[in-house]
Amino acid sequence: MKDCQWIQQLHSYGLLNRCYVSEGLLKELRSYQRLREDHLRSASMHIQHMQKALIEMNIRLPEVLSQIHGASGKALITAILSGERDRYKLLALCHKKIKDKKSEEVLKALEGHYTPHGLFALEQAYKAYLFYQGQILECDRKIDSTLQQINKDKQLPPGTNTGNRKPIRHNKPQVKDLGGHLLKIFGGRDATRLPGFTDYNWLQLYTEIGADLSQWSTEKRFANWLGVSPGQNRSGKKNKSKSKGKPTAGQIFKEMACGLLNSKYIGWGAFARRLRGRKGPAIAIKATARKLAIQYWRLMVKGSDFVEKGIEAYDNMLKEQKQRYLQKLAIEFNVDLVPI
């Protein structure tokens, strides 16, 4: 018997759980979004090729500019490939902030040796990067038209706040009113209220798991399906760990958790850093991703609002927990606690 026949037979007896399968326009949207992610990875590879070509010519721009594919970096590379070698003329092409703060560093970084093979490698990498940027733009147009089809007959619920959206720092899709489209799809429930969420990673999640999260009966099952639940992999000295794969949606939650590790004002960031100090970064990221996933499920299924109270509220909660623990120990050992 073939595997597919055996699986079909088990399904007919109701012995297998249902899995998520996207359909119709959502499946088409997921295809465009995944293709866009592939193009982003390819473009980032050619950014590294540009950096390598510059460093081989002893042009240390990657160490001075945070992004050589930014506006100033692209202007410098275009001028270099056009034959410009005057460092001061190249510096004049940079953004005003770079000229004010890093002018000396940029001038020193441009003291290189422009070799024919280095310039050829730089030109090849730059053209390939621009090609993939064009491909990404075409994917954005397809995503925009598909979202318009999905929301063709939908209206925003009255009273929905469509004001300022969280800024998307990297790889922002060229989709008009992306936040408005997502709010229509989810009936006015705004995932960007949660820490770490922007309209872009909300779009990524939507293309992977859809808008109906009630297919997962509980938040625990949802977290388990994403692969962010803690595993009980030990029995005595025996390790029974078995990999369940890495679902794309679970990886998106983990990427958001990585961003929260560096946050200065969000309580979950303090939670992640505290856990990282005790258990290591991998467990901290997974635990924070689970928190995000559970709150996302509650928001989309039950409509439960989440309020971020900040690091100070989290620290106060930890102090209260420690005080209750001390009081419990004092009762156990028959000791009186005296405040200092």
If you write DSSP's letter for every residue of 79-141 in order, what string do you get? Answer: HHHTT---HHHHHTTS-HHHHHHSHHHHHHHT-----HHHHHHHHHHHHHHHHHHHHHHHHHH
* Placement of tokens 């798991």 in the chain: 209
**pLDDT-based confidence at 256, cuts 50/70/90?**
very high
pLDDT value, residue 268: 82
pLDDT value, residue 181: 92
pLDDT value, residue 237: 66
**pLDDT-based confidence at 80, cuts 50/70/90?**
very high
The answer to whether the CB of 209 falls within 8 A of the CB of 20 is yes
pLDDT value, residue 48: 95
CA 179/CA 10 separation, integer angstroms: 42
**pLDDT-based confidence at 296, cuts 50/70/90?**
very high
Q: Is the pLDDT of residue 2 over 80?
A: yes
Structure confidence by residue, pLDDT tens digits, 3-25: 989 988 988 888 877 677 888 89
In one letter, which amino acid is 18? R
The answer to whether the CB of 163 falls within 8 A of the CB of 183 is no
Q: Is the pLDDT of residue 311 over 80?
A: no
Closest by CA position to 189, among listed 151, 209, 159, 215? 159
Query: What is the DSSP secondary-structure string of 308-327?
Result: --HHHHHHHHHHHHHHHHHH
Residue, of 153 and 32, whose pLDDT is higher:
32
Residue, of 82 and 322, whose pLDDT is higher:
82
Which helix (H) or strand (E) segment holds residue 182: the answer is helix 178-185
Closest by CA position to 211, among listed 221, 202, 198? 202
**pLDDT-based confidence at 307, cuts 50/70/90?**
low
pLDDT value, residue 72: 92
Quote the Cα angle for 184-221-288, to 5°.
75
pLDDT value, residue 305: 73
* Placement of tokens 């202007």 in the chain: 75
Q: What is the mean pLDDT of residues 259-266?
A: 84
Give the 3-state secondary structure of 207-253.
HHHCCCHHHCCCHHHHHHHHCCCCCCCEECCEECCCCCCCCHHHHHH
Q: Is the pLDDT of residue 195 over 80?
A: yes
Q: What is the mean pLDDT of residues 94-105?
A: 91
Q: Is the pLDDT of residue 286 over 70?
A: yes
> What's the pTM?
0.83
